[in-house]
């Protein structure tokens, strides 16, 4: 493992880079954080590589300056709605003469589980073994060193959009960063804001960002459903802008400073001054007026998610409740109350437990680091001969998309 573990959280409105290390006591410590606005990502997908790379570089320089280190590798996220999990099984005969299972046997059985037909626009990101079976004996977590004739593996195969993966990797490569792994948003967020007991009994995690709202259901510590709603924080800001006839920037400021997501908590007597476009003087609006706009859009997001859960018979699987996170709602008083009213489930705000980044906006970035440590990363990504120009920035490590895919293939198999 590298001395430092770095994450790059690519969001619609910002790029966040977090650098961490394991201290002498074995504890994970956050030593550097950088955040930069980004205009190269829309709805969680890279649409402008140059702009995205520039934002990554600025955020990376901030984090490196804070940590007083230089890093060249990172884990990067992709939106949950552009990835999904396929369950499959692999079976092999144990190869050794003494029938003792070794790491090569494990790689072979996972390789056999990965043989499946995929659409051309989909790529395998990861293979997560859920259990191994030796000669009919199941629920084995680590078969290495055990003896048997037939080895089976039940696995969750995580696949994602090839276009999303390639453009994400290239954006990081452009500033000389080698991508060690692509992690879908649900896995990162869940590791950061929920615990194993919640994921075991059943939990709904809603990660509302600027451009999209990812939601995922975990049961038996496995992801059983994930999707996204293409409505999020920026849509709330736009509604305020249209409803009050003020600029988008002013809308964002008053949303963050005065926003309340549940109208019963707002006051009709508390007045806010805004400057409508085309009017020379400021006017007063009540806290309730602002709250009604926010509640309507946030409520729409929750209603869409709730309908999806009901349609897919998932409500009964969620025994521990709802965890809300992400920069889109974390600062709104009343978001818990509104979600509780719509989902009729216990609701809490989820945030990382690391000192210095204990805010919902950092949930994904912190989760990338935690998940990378937890999973030890068993990857399977097909080799793609895609050339990418060398970094033009000061960080020039000569990485490429090709080397990323080939390294993962070589290490895994």
| pLDDT tier, 56 (very low <50, low <70, confident <90, very high otherwise) | very high
Task: Report, in this order, helix, strand and coil percent for the chain, each rounded to 5.
Answer: 35, 30, 35
Q: What is the dihedral of CA 265, 271, 273, 278, to 10 degrees?
A: 90
Tokens of 276: 């409508």
Query: pLDDT tens digit string along 349-402?
Result: 999 988 888 888 899 999 999 998 876 544 433 333 333 333 444 555 444 454
Evaluate whether 262 touches 293 at the Cβ level (below 8 Å): no
On the 0-12 / 13-18 / 19+ scale of CB atoms within 10 A, 181 is: buried
The dihedral of CA 359, 262, 287, 237: what is its sign?
Answer: positive
From the list 356, 353, 337, the residue with the least C-alpha distance to 345 is 337
What mean pLDDT comes out for the span 130-154? Answer: 94
Specify the pLDDT at position 330: 64
- At 49, give phi and psi (nearest 5°): -65, -40
Q: Where are the domains of the chain?
A: 82-161+403-412, 222-349
DSSP 208-274: E-SS-EEEEEEETTEEEEEEEES--HHHHHHHHHHHHT--HHHHHHHHHHH--SSGGGS-SS-EEEE
CA distance 172 to 397: 11
Distance of CA 34 to the CA centre of its chain: 17
Model's pTM, two decimal places? 0.85
Q: Looking at domain 222-349, does it have CATH number 2.40.50.100?
A: no
**Angle at Cα 366 formed by Cα 195 and Cα 257, nearest 5°?**
100
Specify the pLDDT at position 376: 52
Specify the pLDDT at position 387: 36
| pLDDT tier, 42 (very low <50, low <70, confident <90, very high otherwise) | confident
Q: Looking at domain 82-161+403-412, does it have CATH number 3.30.1490.110?
A: yes
**What mean pLDDT value characterizes the chain?**
87
**Angle at Cα 79 formed by Cα 75 and Cα 81, nearest 5°?**
145
Q: What is the dihedral of CA 78, 83, 87, 91, to 10 degrees?
A: -60
Statement: residue 413 has pLDDT above 80: no
């Amino acid at each position: 493992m590298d001395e430092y573990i770095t994450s790059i959280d690519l969001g619609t409105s910002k790029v966040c880079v977090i650098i961490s290390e394991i201290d002498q006591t074995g504890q994970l410590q956050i030593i550097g954080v950088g955040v930069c606005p980004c205009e190269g990502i829309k709805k969680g997908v890279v649409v402008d590589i140059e702009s995205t790379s520039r934002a990554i570089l600025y955020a990376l320089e901030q984090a490196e300056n804070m940590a007083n280190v230089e890093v060249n590798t990172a884990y990067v996220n992709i939106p949950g709605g552009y990835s999904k999990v396929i369950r499959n099984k692999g079976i092999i005969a144990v190869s050794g003469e003494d029938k003792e299972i070794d790491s090569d046997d494990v790689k072979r059985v996972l390789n056999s589980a990965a043989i499946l037909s995929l659409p051309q626009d989909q790529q395998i990101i990861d293979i997560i073994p859920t259990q191994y079976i030796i000669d009919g004996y199941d629920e084995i977590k680590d078969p290495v060193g055990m003896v048997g004739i037939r080895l089976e593996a039940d696995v969750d195969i995580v696949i994602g959009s090839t276009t999303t993966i390639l453009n994400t990797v290239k954006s990081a490569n452009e500033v000389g960063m080698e991508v060690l792994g692509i992690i879908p948003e649900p896995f990162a967020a869940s590791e950061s804001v929920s615990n194993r007991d919640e994921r075991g009994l059943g939990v709904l995690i809603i990660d509302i960002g600027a451009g999209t709202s990812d939601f995922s259901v975990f049961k038996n510590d496995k992801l059983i459903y994930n999707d996204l709603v293409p409505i999020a924080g920026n849509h709330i800001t736009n509604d305020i802008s249209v409803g009050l006839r003020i600029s988008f920037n002013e809308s964002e400021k008053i949303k963050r400073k005065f926003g309340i997501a549940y109208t019963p908590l707002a006051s009709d007597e508390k007045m806010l001054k805004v400057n409508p476009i085309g009017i020379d003087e400021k006017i007063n609006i009540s806290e309730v007026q602002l709250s009604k706009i926010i509640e309507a859009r946030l409520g729409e997001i929750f209603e869409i998610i709730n309908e999806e859960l009901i349609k897919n018979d998932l409500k009964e699987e969620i025994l521990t409740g709802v965890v809300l996170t992400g920069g889109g709602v974390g600062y709104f008083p009343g978001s818990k109350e509104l979600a509780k009213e719509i989902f009729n489930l216990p609701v809490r705000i989820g945030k990382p437990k690391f000192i210095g980044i204990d805010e919902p906006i950092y949930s994904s970035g912190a989760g990338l680091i935690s998940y990378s440590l937890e999973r030890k990363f068993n990857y399977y990504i097909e080799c793609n001969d895609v050339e990418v120009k060398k970094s033009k920035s000061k960080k020039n490590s000569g990485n490429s998309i090709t080397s990323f895919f080939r390294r993962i293939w070589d290490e895994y198999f």
